[in-house]
């Protein structure tokens, strides 16, 4: 049985390597806040959500497959939680009873496997009941395939057959083993035989004629004889013990995969509840092929900021279709970095099949999201700040592919403006020539002005809004770069507040 709730044709691999620069993405986009909100202190949810969210899909069809499944989860959250409780209970029971964890003999392995299978049968019956009663309410291809598989594979005939075999594997009337004599009269070719069929009524059993048998009885203190007899029994049980253990492992693996794949959707339900409590909108994005250039949204906001502050935050609009380069300039503390962070968050959320924090969102898929943000001074003084920036840029370039997305935040500002602008220009031009989409937040007027004067229709310039009284709206709009970032507003506000 296959779960296939994250991919249409394969199971989720929790041990797959994360994309390069993942730690930088977590730091620069403040994804830790998102992970924690989705996991709610559950370590398993945290690890799974982290793996899924950072491992972007690039095929729009696979993204829509997950989106449709998530839509069903949002429509039927209690059913999804009931499903998730089944593998959790299996894990709890295994840990509580330590079923055969120290067993090494076939008899011990068989006993452990039978215990596990009996427990699994009970849980699988519960799974089949949910599929039978609730499955028709789900609309997505992934859920319908899953529930159809459960109803087909776990019908009543299956359970009756399994329960019959489990009763037999208890061997309450002893074990019937056949063997041949080999060299030196040593027993070989041990086989477990089917038990003799019941003879019906008890009176018939008593008065029926029995075939003569040869038997022996061990003395109660004959420890060596008991061990020898136990060894003979284990030889006969070896094959069936292995088969039962493999069957238990198969069901256990299925439940583990079910737990892993549902963990992502449980986290999504948590996030939806958190955003709903803040009355912040979210939507399912329209994700197009990576070879197109699409980037349009309405009401996009920084989801980490909303979750951290527990308040409504300002959203922004953008229409950047057919654009390769977006420059973001304007007033200090005007929302430039926040917008850049929200763009990166939304791209990752969209490409893992999650909803995005916006009223509407359309973008092309990208071949990886990369960030190059300003860092604090190196406390160890092993290198200068500018050297560190160039080193990180070199590491990013090693992993870039056409149609990737790179987000720059105040990059190459650790040197004088002329030198920083020239280096940034060469980096940006090289990226654009390779078909990479670039968003660049900067205070370097020379850099932004140089691109603005090219009048390239594939370049877009946004500017953070500043009102005449110096206040910020945290909204950005298309506008030419200005030679000032109005840092004096921040200076006056800080000193005015400190002297007040």
Please tell me whether residues 270 and 409 are part of one structural domain: no
Residue 201 included in any domain: no
CATH code: domain of residue 440: 3.40.50.300
Please tell me whether residues 265 and 370 are part of one structural domain: no
Residue 393 included in any domain: yes
- Give the list of residues 6+ apart from residue 408 with CB closer than 8 angstroms, or none: 372, 373, 424, 438, 439, 440, 441, 442
Residue 9 included in any domain: no
Q: How confident is the model at residue 381 (pLDDT cuts 50, 70, 90)?
A: very low
- How far apart CA 112 and CA 241 sit, in angstroms, is 9
Please tell me whether residues 259 and 300 are part of one structural domain: no
Residue 465 included in any domain: yes
| Burial readout 255-284 (b: 16 or more C-beta within 10 A, e: otherwise) | bbbbbbbbbbbbbbbbbbebbeeeebbbbb
Please tell me whether residues 358 and 256 are part of one structural domain: no
pLDDT at 181: 79
- How far apart CA 482 and CA 99 sit, in angstroms, is 70
- How far apart CA 167 and CA 150 sit, in angstroms, is 24
Please tell me whether residues 255 and 288 are part of one structural domain: no
Residue 192 included in any domain: no
Please tell me whether residues 400 and 254 are part of one structural domain: no
Please tell me whether residues 418 and 295 are part of one structural domain: yes
- pTM for the full predicted model: 0.85
Residue 87 belongs to what domain range?
Answer: 40-170+249-276
Count of domains in the chain? Answer: 2
- Give the list of residues 6+ apart from residue 436 with CB closer than 8 angstroms, or none: 324, 400, 402, 403, 404, 405, 406
Q: Are 413 and 443 in contact (CB under 8 A)?
A: yes
Q: What is the dihedral of CA 52, 55, 61, 65, to 10 degrees?
A: 0
Find the mean pLDDT for residues 403-423: 92
Q: Are 226 and 218 in contact (CB under 8 A)?
A: yes
349's enclosing H/E stretch is helix 336-351
Please tell me whether residues 272 and 371 are part of one structural domain: no
Tell me the C-alpha to C-alpha distance, in Å, between residue 276 and each of 224, 271, 279, 320: 70, 8, 5, 28
More confident residue, 485 or 111: 111
Mean pLDDT of the chain: 86
Q: Encode pLDDT of 414-433 as tens digits.
A: 888 889 999 999 999 999 99
Residue 468 included in any domain: yes
- How far apart CA 85 and CA 79 sit, in angstroms, is 10
Residue 367 included in any domain: yes
Find the mean pLDDT for residues 145-163: 89
Q: How confident is the model at residue 468 (pLDDT cuts 50, 70, 90)?
A: confident
Please tell me whether residues 394 and 407 are part of one structural domain: yes
Please tell me whether residues 353 and 380 are part of one structural domain: yes
Please tell me whether residues 261 and 325 are part of one structural domain: no
């Amino acid at each position: 049985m296959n779960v296939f709730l994250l991919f249409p044709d394969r199971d989720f691999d929790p041990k797959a390597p994360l994309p390069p620069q993942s730690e930088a993405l977590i730091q620069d986009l403040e994804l830790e806040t998102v992970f924690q909100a989705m996991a709610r202190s559950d370590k398993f949810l945290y690890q799974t959500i982290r793996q899924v969210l950072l491992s972007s899909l690039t095929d729009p069809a696979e993204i829509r497959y997950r989106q449709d499944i998530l839509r069903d989860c949002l429509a039927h959250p209690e059913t999804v939680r009931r499903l998730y409780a089944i593998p959790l209970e299996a894990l709890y029971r295994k840990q509580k009873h330590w079923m055969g964890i120290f067993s090494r003999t076939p008899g011990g392995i068989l006993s452990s496997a039978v215990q596990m299978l009996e427990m699994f049968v009970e849980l699988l019956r519960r799974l089949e009941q949910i599929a039978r009663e609730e499955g028709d309410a789900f609309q997505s291809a992934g859920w319908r395939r899953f529930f159809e598989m459960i109803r087909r594979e776990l019908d009543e005939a299956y359970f009756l057959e399994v329960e019959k075999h489990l009763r037999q594997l208890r061997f309450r009337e002893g074990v019937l083993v056949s063997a041949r004599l080999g060299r030196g009269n040593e027993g070989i070719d041990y086989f477990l035989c089917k038990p003799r069929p019941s003879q019906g009524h008890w009176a018939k059993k008593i008065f029926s004629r029995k075939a003569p048998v040869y038997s022996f009885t061990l003395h109660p203190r004959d420890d060596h004889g008991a061990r020898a007899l136990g060894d003979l029994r284990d030889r006969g049980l070896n094959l069936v013990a292995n088969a039962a253990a493999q069957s238990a492992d198969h069901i256990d693996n299925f439940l583990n995969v079910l737990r892993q794949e549902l963990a992502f959707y449980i986290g999504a339900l948590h996030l939806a509840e958190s955003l709903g409590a803040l009355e912040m909108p979210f939507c399912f994005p329209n994700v197009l092929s990576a070879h197109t250039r699409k980037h349009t949204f309405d009401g996009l906001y920084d989801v980490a900021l909303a979750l951290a502050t527990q308040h409504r935050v300002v959203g922004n609009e953008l229409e950047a279709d057919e654009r390769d380069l977006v420059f973001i300039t304007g007033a200090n503390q005007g929302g430039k970095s926040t917008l850049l962070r929200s763009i990166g968050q939304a791209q990752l959320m969209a490409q893992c099949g999650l909803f995005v924090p916006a009223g509407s969102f359309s973008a092309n898929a990208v071949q990886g999201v990369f960030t190059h943000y300003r860092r604090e001074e190196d406390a160890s003084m092993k290198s200068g700040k500018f050297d560190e920036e160039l080193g990180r840029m070199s590491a990013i370039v090693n992993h870039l592919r056409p149609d990737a997305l790179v987000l720059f935040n105040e990059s190459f500002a650790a040197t004088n403006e002329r030198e920083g602008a020239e280096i940034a220009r060469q980096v940006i031009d090289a990226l654009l020539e390779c078909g990479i989409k670039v968003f660049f937040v900067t205070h370097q007027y020379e850099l932004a002005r140089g691109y603005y004067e090219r009048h390239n229709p594939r370049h877009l310039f946004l500017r953070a809004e500043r009102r005449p009284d110096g206040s910020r709206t945290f909204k950005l709009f298309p506008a030419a770069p200005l030679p000032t970032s109005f840092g004096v507003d921040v200076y006056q506000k800080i000193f005015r507040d400190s002297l007040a």
